[in-house]
Chains A and B, each alone.
Chain A
Amino acid sequence: MGVGIEVQNLNAWYGNNHTLQDINLNIPANHATALIGPSGCGKSTFVRCLNRMHETNPIARVTGVVRIGELDIYSDAKPVEIRRRVGMVFQRPNPFPTMSIYDNVAAGLKLNGYSNKRSLDEIVERSLRNSALWEEVKDDLRKKSGASLSGGQQQRLCIARALAVDPEVLLMDEPASALDPVSTSKIEDLIFQLKSQYTIVIVTHNMQQAARVAEKTGFFLNGRMVEFDSTHKIFTNPSDKRTEDYITGRFG
């Protein structure tokens, strides 16, 4: 089951560049939340702060509080533990190129020392079914490399890989921006199904996509969160002038 995310006074830097300034918001459990905004506004940095990937860059720095469920991720736990509970899907599909489809899905478990073969088989099948890829790959699980799949299939493979470690939250950083429309709609259908089991945060440049998949939407601009509300309200009756300008296409 998913858990809620509570963010208080979150600030983030790349070197001297203050990329996120005083972010406060509550992301509800078992819903999809979309983050929109122009390029460079800090939305990717924001999701990377939710699983402590931001700090893998040596010049990056973070202050503030992020609670995933009950867990204060910056003071109570190690990055490695948090990333197991908060899965991530990246902008470009990034399967492990030398691994088979099966090994890609099982990677998170195997590399953390899990080796019960029968339950691995089950988890791999369940994860691939949940990411709507099972029927397309079930005959080539061990024969083909993850890199041999099409771009859309690779992205669903990456989703399966993230689901296999049984996270509570799934972060998606523009998961469909490198895909064609058919693959994009498959990913969107998937988000729709997955949010019953996981809390989903999706960064997107595509406002229709935000409107289609998310209950809540946050608008970021220049490192600040301008507005956070129900998706319906953001797209029909935003309270802030800048949000209105952005969604009506007057800038960005």
Chain B
Amino acid sequence: MSTGQFHFRSRMRRVTDVAVTSLAILATLIVVAPLVAIFGYLLYKGTASLNLAFFTHVPAPPGELGGGMANAILGSAILLMLASAIGIPVGIGGGIFLAEFGRGSKLANAVRFTADVLNGVPSIVMGVAVYGLIVSQQHSFIPFSGHFSAFSGGVALGIMMIPTVCRTTEEMLLMVPHAVREAALGLGVPNWRSVLSITVRTASPGIITGCMLAFARVAGETAPLIFTALGNQFWSTSLKDPIAALPLQIWVYALSPYDDWHRLAWAGALVLIVLIVMAVSLVRFVTSRGVLKGTS
């Protein structure tokens, strides 16, 4: 090869390097931009209506100024606790079955397929389904059935959490090295004990991430609550009555004809995002405190 050719090739390589690096940086910016834009716009629109009353008062009657979303914040917290109480244990249990006890079996394949389909079910359909099952008719074996209730809302959100939790749990368990399982079996630990105390524990950071993803996703869901929790203008903490939720309240206020309510809707959206970020960070902080030096 002549020196001229060599110089040409080396220049081409540098040009390609710069081009590919620039594309990667551009793609990164495009990924980050929507989040920054949304959050910035929410701060701009929402902070003006944020005051103490927002966190302490229930909504004002139509036509009156002021009021807050205290009941919706509490309602969302109750709905999400109920949803997590249903979605996390069922999801983790299903994931453990898929990865450990049922691996390769027909039942496991069927469960995995079902979870994937469930993950793709539109959230409004989930709301209608729970409406049909729990809200529209009274069953002796389902508590608080036959009417709109916080319970039915929590159930709808909980079912939506199951597939995400289940599949991430499975993936995380499959990533635990075979050597770690063998080490436990080699000590004479029964298989079920090894799965629960060693494999699941080793995979727990990833499993917690999956639970947080599912939590954050349903925290902002409006559609499943329209037919179930319904919303509530007043204080309510009872599982048997309709309950307010931040996304529902935002939806109602944003569609209203009043400027004051529009402002409150912006503030509500800001508070919803901040609360989700805080809840996820809190869980991360609490669960990372027990982690030892050198654990990776």
Contacts and interface: CB of A to CB of B under 8 A. Distances in A.
Interface of A: 51, 53, 56, 80-85, 87-88, 90, 92, 94-100, 107-108, 111-112, 140, 143-145, 147-149, 158, 161-162, 165
A53 B187 CA distance: 11
Contacts of B201: 96, 98-99
Tell me what chain B mostly uses at the interface: helix, strand, loop, or mixed: helix
Contacts of A84: 187-188
B183 A94 contact: yes
Contacts of B293: 140, 143-145, 148
Given A92-B179, A98-B202, A111-B193, A148 B186 contact: no
Given A56-B182, A90-B183, A111-B193, A148 B295 contact: yes
15 contacts: A53-B185, A83-B186, A87-B187, A90-B179, A94-B180, A96-B198, A97-B295, A100-B292, A107-B184, A107-B198, A108-B188, A111-B187, A111-B189, A145-B293, A162-B186
B177 interface: yes
B102 to A, nearest CB: 13
A97 B294 CA distance: 9
Contacts of B202: 96-98
Given A98-B202, A111-B197, A144 B294 contact: yes
Given A83-B188, A96-B198, A112-B189, A148 B183 contact: no
A111 B179 CA distance: 17
A165 B179 CA distance: 19
A143 B293 CA distance: 7
Contacts of B189: 80, 107-108, 111-112
A143 B292 contact: yes
A95 B177 CA distance: 11
A151 to B, nearest CB: 13
B201 to A, nearest CB: 5
A108 B197 CA distance: 11
A162 B197 CA distance: 17
Contacts of A161: 183, 187
B22 to A, nearest CB: 38
Interface in B143-189: 177, 179-180, 182-189
Interface string B194-210: 10011001101000000
Contacts of B194: 111
A119 to B, nearest CB: 18
Interface string B265-296: 00000000000000000000000000111111
B190 interface: yes
Given A92-B179, A96-B180, A147 B294 contact: yes
Contacts of B177: 94
Given A96-B183, A140-B293, A165-B188, 17 more contacts: A53-B185, A53-B186, A56-B185, A83-B186, A84-B187, A95-B183, A96-B198, A96-B202, A97-B202, A98-B292, A107-B187, A108-B188, A108-B189, A111-B187, A143-B293, A145-B293, A149-B294
A235 B281 CA distance: 63
B186 A90 contact: yes
Contacts of A107: 184, 187, 189, 198
Given A80-B190, A111-B187, A165-B187, A94 B182 contact: yes
A149 B293 CA distance: 10
A111 B182 contact: no
Nearest to B194: A111
A173 to B, nearest CB: 10
B292 A90 contact: no
Contacts of A81: 188
B264 to A, nearest CB: 45
Contacts of B183: 90, 94-96, 158, 161
Chain A CB within 10 A, most for which of B182, B187, B190, B294: B187
Nearest to A89: B186
Contacts of A56: 182, 185
Contact of B188 (A80, A97, A143): A80
Nearest to B180: A94
Chain A CB within 10 A, most for which of B177, B189, B193: B189
A149 B197 CA distance: 22
B175 to A, nearest CB: 12
B185 A82 contact: no
A159 to B, nearest CB: 12
A97 B296 contact: yes
Contacts of A100: 292
B173 to A, nearest CB: 13
Contacts of A90: 179, 182-183, 186
